[in-house]
A and B are shown apart, each in its own frame.
Chain A
């Protein structure tokens, strides 16, 4: 049941929806089925999914299809925009109190990664913000939780305040505040015990700590792998404590992390950090827009859509299309095209962005990386006009000359010529496919 990327799933639907001027209701309906499944598989809460789908539907139906896009791509564009919207547009930073110390409370379920995150955050504050935080070990319930924070403190060479596990967490917090003022710490990070959101007694304890320390930041630490229940967890912690931000942990795993979306939707508080590994410095600022495409599993089709929209010169594309149909493609066109593609970003990334590109015959053999691109350019530029227009005249002696002229090897020249031949063949096939269907198919790049 490995996650199929949404990109793959949408291929079928997108290709059906070619060459129409407007997005129709049927188009959207079919696509939304797939989008819905993808979101559910990513563990986005079903209520959130429902709301999301209806918003997208409303927006997408009846939209004019941009010239360079197919209706399918147009819908995806809307999906992505809405998703990024929902995730919250920009990154947000950790609070700073007007009068130090800034108090940060870490709360969450058991095993979410509160203690580890406390250590990481302390390290982050010192390294990136030049702060002097005090970590407070207030988890007296889990065996050796205090020891864990103390060990982290030792590794970081940073102070940890603890009073053993026989003193109440409220008492510990109180004393820690005094200690922080005494020693002029500008941040106090309170590591609380993990608890189920349904545990009355322990939730009361958190409220008491909150009242006593009046924290500037209450961070809910959530495991990125959390399923449908993420909503309830976030809701109840938020209701009781009023959380100010979220830390998403274990995001370096292979989960899609739909929980992020659910939490954002129900609490409307920003996700401030993401745990990206086991090392102490593996805490990163959270990028909402990256998360949007991760949840969708779209690779970067979206980026491609956006880039194609802006960068490709319509006129040139038309001419190219004509040439491909008639199989007149020359090395000059090839170079021109490479340059256009290059302006869209790193090539191998670009290829990866294209759903189904890997499956296309011939495409796999065309190796592209950016270093090679320079070589290719040099090779083509070392050809004579006649050679560029008719590659069939490239005999061994000409190839040797080109290799020398471009500072490459004869093998590279051979490879390029072969690849060019393959590409031409492939394009002819694709052009043929298109020709059979609708003549006016929006044909922008050979691979799109």
Chain B
């Protein structure tokens, strides 16, 4: 089990709290996903068609996505054949390894592109109800803690109460909110916000936008315009375009990532509401099928439950039980 050893070493250097956050936030996923996998190994001693079918179902039930699952299963079948694995117990570490490989695919840049001595503009996009405004509140809190000067732009001028919602967050965190009236042109709000952020010498400008379904062409065009206005004022901005995805979303998440990616050059994904569901699997699908890195994960409702995504921590959070078992086995 050298793979788990390596993983353990990788994360021991990091603070205990981060590890605990991931472990806690992923407990639901772990219980259902890894728990089921353990049962599977117990129930099927042999690695056969039925075993793989059952495994396929476990993965699909975690919203890993049909395509990713099919690829993964094919991979595992090959592996089982070449390594001549016949016992279910022996294939378990291979499964964990493959999943971890998917998560750690490449040394992707998960850190935000923050400008050292000039304004950094971060644009938040996504469909309705995924938690864009809440995420902005949490991000603002995070930056504020880091001693940054933060300004928020109330770019959701459409949904009733959206501006007020951002204002409440502004008060809570203690940062300014640039707004216009409900119903005004979001691009105009952005223009104002960029000017205000510049004149206040702000470090970070977080831009809220109205939620929109990705198949509404007009609304996607509007979003492009919002982005254009920002770029016109600051040529290399927005420095980050973060797509907010709801972890309870099914296969439509892929369609969202693709369409928003095309319209606004999404640079990273924020996965929210991961704590309440057993569906951490969508992270696997995103990593497998898209080139957009996951940058943040929402692991709880508290202000600091928005965590920078770390593949190692995520894998550890998923396999914490397996890891402990392995350690026990080694000690005996």
Contacts and interface: CB of A to CB of B under 8 A. Distances in A.
Interface of A: 1-3, 37, 40-43, 45-47, 50, 109-113, 115-116, 119, 142-152, 155, 196-199, 223, 225-230, 232-233, 250, 252-256, 258-259, 278
A253 B127 contact: yes
A250 B63 contact: no
Given A1-B289, A115-B161, A229-B279, 13 more contacts: A37-B66, A41-B66, A43-B250, A45-B61, A47-B61, A144-B161, A144-B168, A152-B160, A226-B249, A227-B251, A228-B60, A228-B63, A254-B213
Given A148-B161, A148-B165, A254-B215, A229 B248 contact: yes
17 contacts: A1-B67, A1-B254, A1-B289, A2-B255, A111-B130, A111-B273, A144-B162, A146-B161, A148-B160, A223-B129, A223-B248, A227-B63, A252-B216, A254-B215, A255-B250, A259-B250, A278-B158
Contacts of B324: none
Contacts of B101: none
Interface of B: 28, 57, 60-63, 66-67, 127-131, 137, 158-162, 164-165, 167-169, 172, 182, 213-216, 246, 248-255, 273, 275-279, 282, 289
A113 B129 contact: yes
Contacts of A150: 161
Contacts of A145: 161, 165
Nearest to B246: A111
Contacts of B213: 250, 252-254
A112 B172 CA distance: 24
Contact of B60 (A46, A119, A223): A46
B226 to A, nearest CB: 17
B79 to A, nearest CB: 23
Q: Which 4 pairs of residues, A with B, have the shortest CB-CB distance?
A: A227-B250, A148-B161, A111-B129, A43-B250
A384 to B, nearest CB: 50
A309 to B, nearest CB: 32
Contacts of B62: 228
Nearest to B168: A143
Contacts of A198: 28, 276
A241 B218 CA distance: 40
A197 to B, nearest CB: 7
Given A109-B248, A152-B160, A143 B169 contact: yes
Contacts of A142: 165
Contact of A147 (B127, B164, B172, B275): B164
A225 B215 contact: no
Nearest to B163: A144
A226 B169 contact: no
Given A144-B165, A148-B159, A228-B62, A196 B276 contact: yes
Contacts of B129: 110-113, 223, 250
Contacts of B276: 109, 196-199
A225 B165 contact: no
Q: Which of A1, A142, A146, A254 has the most CB of B within 10 A?
A: A1
Nearest to B277: A229
A51 B200 CA distance: 61
Contacts of A40: 60, 66
Nearest to B169: A143
A177 B278 CA distance: 37
Contact of B128 (A2, A227, A229, A250): A250
Contacts of A37: 66
A110 B282 CA distance: 19
B256 to A, nearest CB: 8
Given A144-B165, A144-B168, A151 B160 contact: yes
Given A148-B160, A148-B161, A228 B246 contact: no
Q: Which of A119, A146, A227 has the most CB of B within 10 A?
A: A227
A171 B270 CA distance: 36
A228 B250 contact: yes
B214 A254 contact: yes
A198 B62 CA distance: 17
A42 B160 contact: no
A115 B159 CA distance: 11
B181 to A, nearest CB: 12
A151 B251 contact: no
A152 B160 CA distance: 6
B251 A41 contact: yes
A317 B73 CA distance: 48
B289 to A, nearest CB: 6
B194 to A, nearest CB: 24
Nearest to A114: B129
A263 to B, nearest CB: 13
A110 B252 CA distance: 18
Contact of B279 (A46, A228, A254): A228
Contacts of A259: 250
Contacts of B164: 143-144, 147-148
Nearest to B159: A148
A42 B251 contact: yes
B250 to A, nearest CB: 3
A227 B249 contact: yes
Nearest to B129: A111
A3 B273 CA distance: 25
A142 B129 CA distance: 12
Contacts of B248: 109, 223, 226-227, 229-230, 233
Contacts of B255: 2, 254-255
